[in-house]
Amino acid sequence: MSTCAHFVLRHRWWVIAFWLVVLLAGGTAAGHVPSRLSSDFSLPGQEGSETQARLARSYGISADLGSLPVLTAPGGRPIDRADVTAVADRIRTIPGARVLDYGSTGDPAFLTEGGHSTFLLVYGPKPTGFADPLAATVDRTAQAAARQHGLSAAVTGYDQLSAGSDTGDDGGLSVLGETLIGALGALLVLAFVFASFLALLPLLVAAVSILATFLVVLALTTFTDVSFVVQFLIALVGLGVAIDYSLLVVSRWREERSRGRSNDEAVVTAVTTAGHAVLASGTTVAISLVALVVVDVPLIRSMGLGGMVIPVVSTLVVLTLLPALLSLAGPRIDRPRIRKEAQVSRAWSAWARGVVRHRWAAATTATAGLVLAIVPVFGLQIGEAGSDSLAHSGVAHDTLAALRAGGVDSGVLTPMPLLVRSARDASAVAAAARRVPGVRMAVVAPPGRDGVTAIVVVPTRETVDNTTVRVVSSVRDATKNLPGYLGVTGRGAIVLDYQRAVFDDFPYVLGLIALVTYVLLVRTFRSLLLPLKAVLLNLVSVAAVFGMITWFWQDGHGSNAVFGIAATGALTFWLPVLIFAFLFGLSMDYEVFILARMREEYDRTGSTAYAVEHGLGRTGRLVTSAALILFFAFAALASAPGTDIKVLATALGAGILLDATVVRALLVPAMVSLLGRYNWWLPAGIARLLRVEPSPLHPGTRLPAGHEDGPHSPGRAPADDRPGRLQPEARP
């Protein structure tokens, strides 16, 4: 790190020029990235996805229902079959549209009770994005044709309900708008922390980091698919991470300046100490995300690759551009100098002394709070949001409500296409599917281009989560041994595919992330116990967050009050893995920030109590400020359209606050105090393997002269706050 700092200072103009070019190129790239991102949820090798691909080849349509027009006769009279046929035929004239209806099949299951209304199943080509390209045309055509035959028409569907909940009145904020809101919140926090124009410097670094990340992701899209979610993460997670890292380095630079060091000496010291913590944090976040590539799912893999770029680029910018700017302009913009960094925070030092003094009570209280938060996670359901949590007003909502009033439940939103080899196999398979409990109807479609025939099986209830997809498995079991069976697809089948492909392998992903993180932190902290505690606390913290979002979103205790969205009933299948990967890495940031400073103070004094007090006194305000900045970023992300993005944002925001308060401010110092000198132990053999200096157990305190506060007198701070000259092995 010292070599890096001296290199940057010698070539600071070249460094600034390089990042200026990247900034301009990134600004151009940011406009092109959204159109290059993927919304593909396919799972190669899984039955649902393979059947979906076969359906697209045979019929040219998506496995998910595009639109669900509902026709109603006036005056409560029964609807005429010929009129339904005429409307359906008009919809069939739309290029790419395929329609199943009461008119062409005569199946009374298409009718509501009393026969006053009927629904049509309209399929279209697989969308390239999230919007069904035929939806608007189907809506206009259905209404126009219905009027000609004296009927009324309205259109619903899962996508239409999702659009109703996603856009609201204003369509949600753009990525740029969300970023500006997050930046404004960050500026307020930075202004409080620095109380000078220096607060603008981390924002400049964040702007360069975000645009540089867009540039790298644009290059990635030429080689592999990158998920649409990445654009939101770049803008807002990138904003928070870059500012957090900058905050740590700039604060340490200020601290060294206040001790009388020259500007360049302060820059070198800041990079050597705080920069080392930034490097460890960025590496940990990157590894927790890149580990997602072991999941054999294109969507998850692309999120891991795209997300990994965020901390890597942010770390590079903070360790190169920021020192160059501090060397060049730091003292000039650090005005007015209202807040000083010469002394530790009195409030945080007093808090740390209180935690050390009452460590058992602090550890017990924090653990009890985490256990309470974890309890709801045992009811977690994986799938997609239920229809009740989507639109709560509008045409799509009202149309579905009318169908339900007529005895047609929400299963019509998630029909499951079942493919057989030829039309002669269809009758027996359809009959077997109809006999499955929970199935409303099974309709045989005309053969496709290659003779493959689809049977559209409509369940009674929508198939969107762990419990409701059982009917998909039942239909599959009842038909898979019959002649001609090829496979079942649709929303419910894809949910089952994700459960097998993602969550069966998830323990291996978790183990890989935990193991690699542990090894990295052993090298960073020169300790066996501190990294183990850090990994275990991170896992507990993430579990608590899952419990909180299960309670808030899935069970609906707060989602309606805050966002006007009913209980989702499940978490969308791709969310848990992404939430875990990001939270595990981001939460570890604060652990590294705090423990790196504690390690530095222990190496200088040999006192665990002093290390806890002084380490938390120096980093407590920074960690709290960093958490607030990330929270503002995630609050802005929660304004994005889409229930899934809101769930992701609230999970990350709640996780950051929980981690920075209950875990890092209470449980971490309490446990470090309880473990005492065993925190800092690293045997010589392991140290030699990891190429770091060993850290043997010391029998007692070895404070410098004049530092009388030891493990048994944590309340007294040394008169001189300046660190002594560290030997190379004592540097964090």
Q: In whole angstroms, what is the distance from residue 295 CA to residue 293 CA?
A: 5
DSSP H or E segment with residue 577: helix 575-605
DSSP 292-355: GGGSS-HHHHHHHHHHHHHHHHHHHHHHHHHHHHHHHHHHHH--S--S--SS--HHHHHHHHHH
Q: In whole angstroms, what is the distance from residue 494 CA to residue 297 CA?
A: 12
Query: What CATH code would you report for 66-156?
Result: 3.30.70.260
Between 26 and 130, the more confident residue is: 26
Which of 112-116, 608-612, 659-663 comes out lowest in average pLDDT? 659-663
Taking only the tens place, the pLDDT of each residue in 696-712 is: 876 654 444 434 334 33
The pTM for the full model equals 0.77
Domains 1-36+172-343 and 352-384+512-699 share a fold: yes
Homologous superfamily assigned to 352-384+512-699? Multidrug efflux transporter AcrB transmembrane domain (1.20.1640.10)
* Residue in the block written with tokens 């401010």: 665
Q: In whole angstroms, what is the distance from residue 463 CA to residue 415 CA?
A: 8
Q: In whole angstroms, what is the distance from residue 520 CA to residue 680 CA?
A: 15
Query: What CATH code would you report for 1-36+172-343?
Result: 1.20.1640.10
Contact call for residues 284 and 520 (beta carbons, < 8 A): yes
Contact call for residues 87 and 71 (beta carbons, < 8 A): yes
Contact call for residues 105 and 149 (beta carbons, < 8 A): no
* Residue in the block written with tokens 């579990």: 543
Contact call for residues 701 and 710 (beta carbons, < 8 A): yes
Contact call for residues 249 and 5 (beta carbons, < 8 A): no
Which among 12-16, 164-168, 579-583 has the top mean pLDDT?
12-16
Three-class SS state of 48 = helix
Name the residue ranges covered by the structural domains of the chain.
Answer: 1-36+172-343, 66-156, 352-384+512-699
In 98-150, where does DSSP find H-type helix?
102-105, 135-148
Taking only the tens place, the pLDDT of each residue in 262-296 is: 999 999 999 998 898 889 888 888 887 787 777 77
How much is the mean pLDDT over the chain? 85
Give the pLDDT score at 287: 82
* Residue in the block written with tokens 């890092």: 664
Give the pLDDT score at 720: 37
135 Cβ neighbours under 8 A, 6+ residues apart: 66, 67, 124, 155, 157, 159, 160
Residues in the chain: 732
**Residue 561 burial (10 A CB sphere; 0-12, 13-18, 19+):** exposed
Phi, psi of 154 (to 5 degrees): -145, 150
645 Cβ neighbours under 8 A, 6+ residues apart: 229, 232, 637, 638
Asked whether the predicted pLDDT for residue 719 surpasses 50, the reply is no
Q: How many CB atoms lie within 10 A of CB 458?
A: 26
